[in-house]
Amino acid sequence: MAADTLASDSQQREGQIAALLRRNERLQLGLLLFPGLFWLVTFFALPLVVVVLYSFATNGPGGRIEWTFTLNNYRTLFTESLYVNAYWRSIWAGVWTTLVCLIVGYPLAYYIVRRPPRWRTVLLFLILIPFWTNFLVRTYAWMIILSNNGIINSAIQALGLPRVALYPSEGAVLVGLIYGGLPFMVLPIYASLARFDFTLMEAAADLGANQVQAFLRVMLPLTMPGVAAGSVLVFIPTVGQFVVSDLLGGAKVDYLGNLLQRLFTRSNPPNWPLGSAMAIVFMIVLTMAIIIYFRVTTEEDR
């Protein structure tokens, strides 16, 4: 008896809730939206606010944070050559990596788009695999290839030449960065080229354009969204990375990411306020770089 009324009670309540939900669309929306909003505000937006707070705090003895307002962290960043150089080095590495990935990736994407459908699927899949697989492991693989007794040095020795110290070096870092960035450039360009109407190239040829002109004036501008997306996807992670320069550069030269990692986790004592200021300036520089990039690339359209 009791269980029976309980069941009908809960059924009734369920019915009431359902009715309430149906009537109140705002409540429905609120319930759907709340978990995502809560999580991203608490564990993404708030942490960024904390970084801003830290960047104006003072680093006390032993890495203890003292809440006295200071601009010294920012001053250090702009005056000490260690930090200024790290910014420049990382941005240059980002620019070069993006450029090489673009020059290598565009023709590859073009080649894939022009294959018959069956081949296209296979080739695209071959680009997707490195896109999905562990970046740390793939960077580590370069250590094996470039090591003193590795394949390349064995080949060099077999030719009777002296061994070369290929890694750790800045060249090895650049190879690793290009290697990591390439799939991120090819996929968006591929997506743009797949939507491109190739009969436009014939039209351009009929109107007297040679192949270079047709490429520069028709195909490139129309696939610019893919180029822009690919560039951003390669540039941002490259400037902020620390794994490649740590493993392939032997942590001899400091990139932005290495300094950030050291200031937060490794140095004794750590300096979170300085690291926070560094991260904030990094975000500002990155945002400006991307705005300038989009200005330049869309200007060419007009």
Partner 1 sequence: MVDIQTPPSVRVVGGERRRSPGSLALGAHAMLTLAFLYAPIVVLVLFSFTRDSFGVRWTGFTFDWYVRLLADQRLLTAAMNTLIVALISTIVSTIIGTMTAMAMERYRFRGRTGFDALLYLPIVIPEIVMALALLAFFAFSFGLLETLFGIRLQFGLATVTISHIAFTISFVVVVVRASLKGFDMRLEEAAQDLGANEWQTFRYITLPLIMPGVIGGALLAFTLSLDDFVITFFTTGSGVSLLPVEVYGQVKRAITPKINAISTLMLLVSITLVFLSQFVQRRREI
Binders of partner 1 among residues 241 to 270 (CB under 8 A) are 241-243, 246-247, 257, 260-261, 264-265
Task: CB nearer to partner 1: give 5 or 241.
Answer: 241
Between helix 272-299 and helix 224-240 the angle, nearest 10°, is 160
Task: CB nearer to partner 1: give 291 or 302.
Answer: 291
Between helix 46-55 and helix 272-299 the angle, nearest 10°, is 110
Rounded Cα distance between 82 and 52, Å, is 22
Cβ–Cβ under 8 Å, residues 205 and 214: yes
User: Within 274-293, which residues bind partner 1 (CB under 8 A)?
Assistant: 275-276, 279, 282-283, 286
Between helix 224-240 and helix 81-113 the angle, nearest 10°, is 140
User: Within 64-103, which residues bind partner 1 (CB under 8 A)?
Assistant: none
Rounded Cα distance between 41 and 49, Å, is 10
Rounded Cα distance between 29 and 37, Å, is 12
> Residue 150 Cβ, how far from partner 1 at the closest point, in Å?
5
Cβ–Cβ under 8 Å, residues 102 and 185: yes
Number of residues that bind partner 1 (CB under 8 A): 90
Only one of the segments 74-82, 188-196, 231-239, 293-301 lies at the binding site for partner 1 (rule: CB under 8 A); that segment is: 231-239
- Judged by CB under 8 A, the residue of 143, 222, 253, 289 near partner 1 is 143
Rounded Cα distance between 167 and 250, Å, is 8
> Residue 298 Cβ, how far from partner 1 at the closest point, in Å?
18
User: Within 161-180, which residues bind partner 1 (CB under 8 A)?
Assistant: 179
Q: Six-digit token pair at 5? A: 């009324």
User: Within 31-60, which residues bind partner 1 (CB under 8 A)?
Assistant: 32-33, 35-37, 39-41, 43-48, 50-51, 53-54
Rounded Cα distance between 159 and 222, Å, is 48
- Judged by CB under 8 A, the residue of 181, 226, 230, 237 near partner 1 is 237
Cβ–Cβ under 8 Å, residues 193 and 113: yes
User: Within 182-211, which residues bind partner 1 (CB under 8 A)?
Assistant: 182-183, 198-199, 201-202, 205, 211
- Judged by CB under 8 A, the residue of 132, 162, 210, 295 near partner 1 is 132
Task: CB nearer to partner 1: give 203 or 296.
Answer: 203
User: Within 6-35, which residues bind partner 1 (CB under 8 A)?
Assistant: 18, 21-22, 25, 28-29, 32-33, 35
Task: CB nearer to partner 1: give 214 or 227.
Answer: 214
> Residue 279 Cβ, how far from partner 1 at the closest point, in Å?
5
Q: What residue type is 180 in one-letter code?
A: G
What stretches of the chain adopt beta strand conformation (E)? 58-59, 65-66
Q: Is 128 in the site for partner 1 (CB under 8 A)?
A: yes
Task: Please give the DSSP secondary-structure letter assigned to residue 223.
Answer: T
